[in-house]
Amino acid sequence: MAVYSDFLGENGGTYFYRITSLDTQGVERGFVARQFAVDRLLTMVRFLDTCTARYHGAWSHRFNGATGETIPFSQYDDGGDFVETAYLVQGLLTARRYFDRDDPAESEIRETVTRLWEQVEWDWYLGKPPGRQLYWHWSPRYEWKMNHRIGGHFNECLIVYLLALASPTHPIPRECYYEGWVGGDGCEYANGNTYYGHKLWVGWPYGGPLFFTHYSFLGFDPQGKRDRFCNYFENSRNWTLINRAHCAANPGSHKGYSELCWGLTASDTPGGYQAHDPRNDNGTISPTAAISAMPYTPQESMATLRHLYHTYGRRLWGPFGFKDAFNLDKNWFADSYLAINQGPIVVMIENHRTGLCWRFFMSNPEINPMLDRIGWTRE
């Protein structure tokens, strides 16, 4: 499983990204030796433990890969980023279960990950005085000035609440799931409409960008799991099919769109980084959108992977895999590979093939009792 953020920093020509357990898959498939992965991961968790600035246990959105010093993401975002922290913890907990051998290095990985996990003050991010809804940011200089609450609409942040509820040391009250994440009566969280013949139980009209169905489910397995609103695997599948059907219908008459060329999410564009979905479609297709949906739509996603590779060749494919995006209206292909889009491709292909990352994350002893605590059921 990969846990990633945006670019963190550069030192002597070395570029640092927040990637903690891509090694899990590398070891499993024989791409790297287990000891190599253990040494690499041990370096990472030691750095996270001893070098990086933390804000009531949370990490910043960006930090320097050599010093651990926070790199402000914006004027007021110079402290803890709670959503990025949750993605990081999701991967750390996956690695904690995978590297299970009784030797000093793997034992240190498990012990360090446990300490990092238990030090995150999930309840602090309910604000002061604490409410029922989590905040995305806290800064020692600006405190809660960003005022970005998490919840009320379904998006990429479900994992934040699940981990906050599962914390063995700083859990949030169980009422926060429905009062905070769902946002009370759920009238804005729920959808219930049908688009292109596919029902969407929760989510924006037409579903929003596809990364909403990826990030929280890199480790957390939605198969057969539901709250009072929906089965989240089936919701993600239909969301993906709506996105694909929109591109096939192509109401904006964008070049190249078809049942094989689809996938709207957040990515680079000719005008900079933007989020795309059926209601905000400027003709930019992002390979991560369709390919990271592999567990939900395996046949459709594989057909698109092959189409993109064979049709666009070196314009879209390079030494690190698919480039971030392309827009045929403008004859534009990105030169970039964004870690936050590359990571889900690798993880979700593996979850489709073997369920590896889902299996190890879900085996953490804190996860299933948390689901029982908030009333999720298994089908």
For residue 253, the SS3 value is coil
| pLDDT at residue 184, as a whole number | 86
Q: State which amino acid sits at residue 183.
A: G
Residue whose token pair is 């992965």: 37
The torsion angles phi and psi of 23, rounded to 5 degrees, stand at -60, -30
* DSSP state letters, 122-135: GGGGGTTTT-SS-B
Tallying the residues shown for the chain, one arrives at 379
| pLDDT at residue 185, as a whole number | 84
The torsion angles phi and psi of 101, rounded to 5 degrees, stand at -75, 155
Instruction: Indicate the CATH number of 1-186 among 3.40.630.10, 1.50.10.140, 3.70.10.10, 3.30.1130.10.
Output: 1.50.10.140
Using CA atoms, how far apart are residues 274 and 278, in angstroms rounded to an integer? 13
Going by the DSSP 8-state scheme, the letter that residue 231 receives in this structure is B
| pLDDT at residue 158, as a whole number | 98
| pLDDT at residue 25, as a whole number | 78
| pLDDT at residue 26, as a whole number | 84
Q: Tell if the pTM clears 0.85, that is, is over it.
A: yes
Going by their DSSP bridges, the two strands 326-327 and 332-333 should be labelled as: antiparallel
| pLDDT at residue 23, as a whole number | 64
| pLDDT at residue 22, as a whole number | 57
Using CA atoms, how far apart are residues 336 and 17, in angstroms rounded to an integer? 14
Q: What is the pLDDT along the chain (379 residues), one digit of tens a residue?
A: 333 334 433 333 333 344 444 567 788 888 889 999 999 999 999 999 999 999 999 999 999 999 999 999 999 999 999 999 999 999 999 999 999 999 999 999 999 999 999 999 999 999 999 999 999 999 999 999 999 999 999 999 999 999 999 999 999 999 999 999 999 888 899 999 999 999 999 999 999 999 999 999 999 999 999 999 999 999 999 999 999 999 999 999 999 999 999 999 999 999 999 999 999 999 999 999 999 999 999 999 999 999 999 999 999 999 999 999 999 999 999 999 999 999 999 999 999 999 999 999 999 999 999 999 999 999 8
Which residues have CB under 8 Å from 238's CB, separation 6+?
A: 198, 199, 200, 201
Residue whose token pair is 């933007």: 274
Q: State which amino acid sits at residue 95.
A: A
| pLDDT at residue 42, as a whole number | 96
